[in-house]
A and B are shown apart, each in its own frame.
Chain A
Amino acid sequence: MKILLVEDQLSTSLIIQTQLESWGYTVVCAQHGQEAWNILQDAPYPIVLTDWLMPVMDGLELCRKIRGKDSSNYTYVILGTAKNSQEDLVNGLEAGADDFIPKPYNSAELHIKLRNAERIMGYETMLTEKNTQLQEAMSLIQQDLGQAAQVQESLLPKEPGSILGIGADWLFLPSNQVGGDIFNIIPIDQCHLVFYLVDVVGHGIGAAMEAMSISKFLTPKYLHYQLASASSIAKEMNEIFQSTTTVMQCFTMALGILNTKTNKLRMVHAGHPPSLLIHQDGTNQLIEGGGLPLGILDDPDYDDTVIDLEKGDRLYLYSDGVLECENSQGEYYGLNRFRQLMEGTQDQPLSQSLTSLHRTVKNWGNQESFEDDVTVLAIECVQDLHMKETHGRLCRDEEVQTRM
């Protein structure tokens, strides 16, 4: 191990150097603190054994400079001293000395102190190595998470805009890189839209994986045969995504099937907060109904709620992360504030309403990230029902009804 020996008396320096070398150390000598400091700029030394009183720069100052330096390599400093008062020791400790040795150096004592230094530097090296390993593992995990987040993002709708004459926009603020919330808005045929918001209980990778498999399950092809009832989709999903005894995984869901020709909406809420419907005139209602979260019980009951939407109606599906966003006093943002805000911004374009909501919950929580995923999916009836009917023929469920 290398030692930097700092000693202004040449004869003393020579004696100590010989002694140190006989113990197997590699020794480099400096005559005062400034010279030692210069040497340290070129190469790190694990151990510095320095005299206290020296010309140009004393041992105390050298010690302070070493501690003040931002370095990944620790330097163990032994301060040699003829001073033995309490105050001097305190000064030495304050400057950052690791150990003291009275002058003239007693050979046996010096040897023990150096071995201590070696032992501690050994721990130091081990710690640094472990730290490096941890950092490497951490960056690998971060990389994986980043990729997972990309996969998850690819399952979300691409651009807000108009689908089958229905406006759609959203707010998606996952609490981590990957989250347990997932949503989509899917055109099924020329006059049916299915949209949903799923909130898998819990956060992190487990919840994200579940969310992704749910999203992959709800394909247009599958949904095409399920347009008659939202609750039967919920029932089927409950069966498929059952928790096991080892994995407790359940989720809540709001799902709507909208006939864009008749504006008839069928919705199911499975353990999910009621969707908020705001009419053009600013009055509002909550669409409730439904049943338990999915994936827990074997055969829960779900019901469709059927509603006729009108021009200018906006429907907000949201995760409980919106309502449960806490301020510094631990108070939830809550349904009433959410409701009032969306009511008050009804006359603004949809994207602006959502921007207001984003700003408001962010200020409410007063921190950069949210504790839970905050997701809102908004859809808007932009066209008149009357106008739409002139566009085309009846769509499948009316045909079915007519035949009945």
Chain B
Amino acid sequence: MELSQNWIDHNLVISVPENHLSINIGQSLKQLISELSTHESGNIIFDLSQVKKIDSSGMAGLVYLYKWLQGRGELRLCGINDSIRQMMEITRIDQLIHQYRTVDEALSDLSPH
């Protein structure tokens, strides 16, 4: 899966061009992490507004990214629908990763680097 990446200052906005986020995200995330390893720090905003459904594999991918980012920056999600929100509640990931309505909202209260 091709994740579209867009740097806004020190924040990386990633949008997922798929309507089903599943095990298919694993490889893309590994690649993303190896690319980001050279950057010193930065936050990641994951824009899920094109994603309709997410399963536990997709969820695990996001948590994995969250864990990797610890100490480097923050992971934020935006554009999530009810089905994804429900999945996040079941897995308790909603308490771990902050969610925003839009990319702008997610960016607005990030402290500038």
Contacts from A to B (Cβ < 8 Å): 199, 201-203, 243, 248, 250, 252, 271-274, 290-293, 296-297, 320, 324, 330, 332, 372
Which residues on the B side are within 8 Å of A272 (C-beta)?
90
Flag whether B16 is at the interface (Cβ < 8 A): no
Which of B73-108 touch A at CB < 8 Å? 83, 90-93, 96
Flag whether B26 is at the interface (Cβ < 8 A): yes
A292 touches B56 (CB 8 A): no
Which residues on the A side are within 8 Å of B91 (C-beta)?
252, 271, 292-293
Which residues on the B side are within 8 Å of A248 (C-beta)?
26, 30, 60-61, 64
B57 touches A202 (CB 8 A): yes
B90 touches A199 (CB 8 A): no
Among residues of A, the one whose C-beta sits closest to the C-beta of B20 is: A330
Q: How far is the CA of A106 from the CA of B109 in the complex (A)?
A: 84
Which residues on the B side are within 8 Å of A273 (C-beta)?
90
A297 touches B63 (CB 8 A): yes
Q: How far is the CA of A248 from the CA of B64 in the complex (A)?
A: 7
B55 touches A320 (CB 8 A): yes
- B66 to A: closest C-beta gap in Å: 8
Sample (25) of A-B pairs whose CB atoms are under 8 Å apart: A201-B56, A201-B57, A248-B30, A248-B60, A250-B60, A250-B63, A252-B56, A252-B91, A271-B59, A271-B90, A271-B91, A271-B93, A292-B92, A292-B93, A292-B96, A293-B60, A296-B60, A296-B63, A296-B64, A297-B96, A320-B55, A320-B90, A324-B55, A332-B83, A372-B55
Answer whether A243 and B55 are a contact pair too, CB < 8 Å, given A292-B92, A292-B93. Answer: no
Chain B residues touching A, range: 10 to 19
Chain B binding surface SS class: helix
Which residues on the A side are within 8 Å of B96 (C-beta)?
292, 297
Which of B8-63 touch A at CB < 8 Å? 23, 26, 30, 53, 55-57, 59-61, 63
Flag whether B72 is at the interface (Cβ < 8 A): no
Q: How far is the CA of A274 from the CA of B99 in the complex (A)?
A: 22
Q: Which 8 A-B pairs have the closest CB atoms?
A: A271-B91, A201-B60, A250-B60, A201-B57, A296-B63, A248-B64, A291-B92, A292-B92
B67 touches A297 (CB 8 A): yes
Among residues of A, the one whose C-beta sits closest to the C-beta of B55 is: A324
- B56 to A: closest C-beta gap in Å: 5
Q: How far is the CA of A240 from the CA of B64 in the complex (A)?
A: 17
Which residues on the B side are within 8 Å of A290 (C-beta)?
92
A243 touches B64 (CB 8 A): yes
- A340 to B: closest C-beta gap in Å: 17
A271 touches B92 (CB 8 A): yes
Which residues on the B side are within 8 Å of A372 (C-beta)?
55
Which residues on the B side are within 8 Å of A199 (C-beta)?
56
- A385 to B: closest C-beta gap in Å: 31
Q: How far is the CA of A372 from the CA of B63 in the complex (A)?
A: 20
Among residues of B, the one whose C-beta sits closest to the C-beta of A289 is: B92
Name the contact of B63 in the complex, choosing from A202, A293, A330 (C-beta under 8 A).
Answer: A293
- A206 to B: closest C-beta gap in Å: 11
